[in-house]
Structure 1
Amino acid sequence: MPTTRRTDGVLLAVAVVWGSSYLTAKTATDALPVLTVLLLRHAVAALACLPVLCGPGSPSRAERLCGGLLGLTQSAVLVLETYGVAHTSAGNAGLIISLTLVLTPVLDRARLPRRFFLAAAVCVAGVGLLVCGSGLHAPGAGDLLMLAAAVARAGHVVLVGRVTAGRTLRPLPLTAVQSVAGAVLFLGPAASGLPALTRIGAVTWAQLLYLALGCGLFAFLAQTWAIQRTSATRAGLLLGTEPVWALLVGIGFGGERLTVLSALGAALIMAGTYWGRSIESAHRAASAHARPMTVTGDLSRAR
């Protein structure tokens, strides 16, 4: 029981950190250009990983190749997310990005029951109510960017599964290479914004460190550690509270407000997300159980 509570606590901490990252990124981009924030987010993480990059446990060739590729796709996701949250509320950003959970199986071409797509439709309806909460109008640029980020993040998750399948890749070296790849990618485009660093205060520096070390290194490694000690379903339920924390942090610390329509939209997004996740998890479990029962099944895949 103590081990289970500790694991659950770590997963909840990851969800809280990720949920709070939207307001943190939004306020950081008020003081610095978006690309400068992204450069520092990757560069600080890369500096923290120098002992891993240069020490005896340095990344293998496979970890360098996979980390470089995933660093490019993760950077694309963060560009869309950070520009998106800069032009919408932190609560909206956290709720819309949760669509990743229902988009990932679709992009992964998983054969799913029809009711899964009904759950996805509930999420889409929720997004519509959320962005039109103060009256019927077209979604704002930030909301559309967050939708694009949800699609891109789902594609990134699928790619992670494809490139790491059947390979022994260590989480920390892989994360270190991704951080270096992101820092190199943003160095040129963000160079013109670097002089602004001389004008920011301690609060903005604290936000940048939090994004790099808390929302980056800690969250990824803690998630990996915890998932190895619990079921995927339990981990998904706990990590799926991320949009709730994003909403609470936005309201509690960012002064954001919810209308009745926005609250209904938020409720639909969370309900549809949990429903879709439960359908996908049950379908995956049933498929895994049935596979070894077939005469022609590949038994090595069941181990």
Structure 2
Amino acid sequence: MSMKSPALLSAGDFMLLVVAAFWGATYLVVKDLGNVGSIGGMMAIRFVIAAAGLWAYWLFKRDKFQKQEWIMGIAFGISQTVVLNLEAYSVHFTSATNGGLIIALAIITVPILESAWRKNWLPYKFFIATSVAVIGLALLIMGNGFVEPNIGDLFMFIAMILRTFHFVILGRLTQGKTFSPVNLTTVMVSTSGLIMLIINPVAAIDTASTYSAGNWTSMLFLSLLCTSFAFIGMNWAVKHTSASRASLLLGTEPVWATIIAITIGGELIGAIGALGAVLVIGSTYWGQAIESKHRLK
């Protein structure tokens, strides 16, 4: 009897869950830092520090950059910047619930696009699992209440579509290639940091001048762990799995955000929210098992 099971988490799966946990932590950190300075200034500082950290790490490795890494890094850095800014500014017009549910649709749109691209459709049970995950996310975050559709929802919908293409194309172009996740991430994050600093130079300086020692500690956590490390981890993991599987595992981000908000932020979660978290975790485990079996055929 084989000791291996397709339902068990691989190293790539575990890395994606770690990334989701760090990204879940950003909700609390960004909320705290957002009360001190501007969103644009905070984002510029975040990515400039993240880029500096990545270049410092690169100096130890000194892996030679490939031409394709520069091209892809700049291209995906631009698309990443557009997505992040659409998400950040959409919250000024819509609720966290509306935005969270719209961006969560990527759990479904990514496997649809990837299956169509590969001309190899995942089993229908996988799409049932992703749909259950979206329902679970709805139950988990619906406590904030819905607002009527507005321009903010449109921004978030565009961000979700762009994120879908970004994720699938990144996965397709890096799988089986010799690209360095560190090199690719360094160029991507540096591109984002440069663009955000050019757009928000005054806001970045003003925001930085208002930060306390505690704020800078939070910013270092946000920049180095939730950005530098997380993006390296994601780019490495996507090379070793499918975009569909990765999007499902990264879809657990709100669950981690809730856990952190309860344990650190002192927030409470009701029975409906707890049920939603259980549905997300259960459907994610089920979905990745289905995807594993499909890949082994």
Instruction: Please give the range of the TM-score, normalised by the shorter of the 2 chains.
Output: 0.7 to 0.9
Change (3 A) 1:8 1:105: closer
Could you tell me how far 1:248 is from its partner in structure 2?
Answer: 0.7
Paired residues in the alignment total 283
1:174 and 2:172 equivalent? Answer: no
1:272 and 2:277 equivalent? Answer: no
Within 5 Å, give how 1:223-302 maps onto structure 2: 242-286=253-297
Q: Give the letter aligned to residue 185 of structure 1.
A: I
- Which of residues 54, 64, 68 in structure 1 aligns to 2:70? 64
State the distance in 2 between where 1:280 and 1:185 align: 37
- Between 1:262-271 and 1:207-216, the stretch displaced more is 262-271
- Between 1:212-221 and 1:271-280, the stretch displaced more is 271-280
Could you tell me how far 1:7 is from its partner in structure 2?
Answer: 9.0
Q: Partner residue of 2:24?
A: 19
- C-alpha RMSD of matched pairs (Å): 4.2
Could you tell me how far 1:160 is from its partner in structure 2?
Answer: 0.5
Q: Give the letter aligned to residue 296 of structure 2.
A: A
The C-alpha deviation readout for 1:262-286, integer Å capped at 9, x for no partner, is: 3333333333333333323322222
State the distance in 1 between where 2:134 and 2:249 align: 22
Q: Partner residue of 1:187?
A: 197
Within 5 Å, give how 1:62-101 maps onto structure 2: 62-83=68-89, 99-101=105-107
1:155 and 2:165 equivalent? Answer: yes
* Contact 2:49–2:220 (8 Å) recurs in 1: yes
* Contact 2:19–2:233 (8 Å) recurs in 1: yes
Q: Which runs of 5+ in 2 are unaligned?
A: 1-8
- Which of residues 211, 223, 229 in structure 2 aligns to 1:212? 223
Change (3 A) 1:22 1:86: farther
The higher radius of gyration belongs to 1
Q: Which runs of 5+ in 1 are unaligned?
A: 287-303
Q: Partner residue of 2:51?
A: 46
The C-alpha deviation readout for 1:53-82, integer Å capped at 9, x for no partner, is: 899545222111010011112223322444
- Return the TM-score normalized by structure 2: 0.73
- Between 1:25-34 and 1:76-85, the stretch displaced more is 76-85
- Between 1:235-244 and 1:191-200, the stretch displaced more is 235-244
Q: Partner residue of 1:300?
A: none
Partner secondary structure for residue 258 of structure 1: coil
1:196 and 2:202 equivalent? Answer: no
Once the two structures are aligned, what percentage of the paired residues are identical? 39
- Between 1:143-152 and 1:41-50, the stretch displaced more is 143-152
Q: Partner residue of 1:103?
A: 109
The C-alpha deviation readout for 1:223-274, integer Å capped at 9, x for no partner, is: 6678899999999998665443211111222233323333333333333333
* Contact 1:26–1:85 (8 Å) recurs in 2: no
Partner secondary structure for residue 200 of structure 2: helix
Change (3 A) 1:208 1:140: farther
Could you tell me how far 1:158 is from its partner in structure 2?
Answer: 0.5
State the distance in 1 between where 2:147 and 2:141 align: 8
- Return the TM-score normalized by structure 1: 0.72
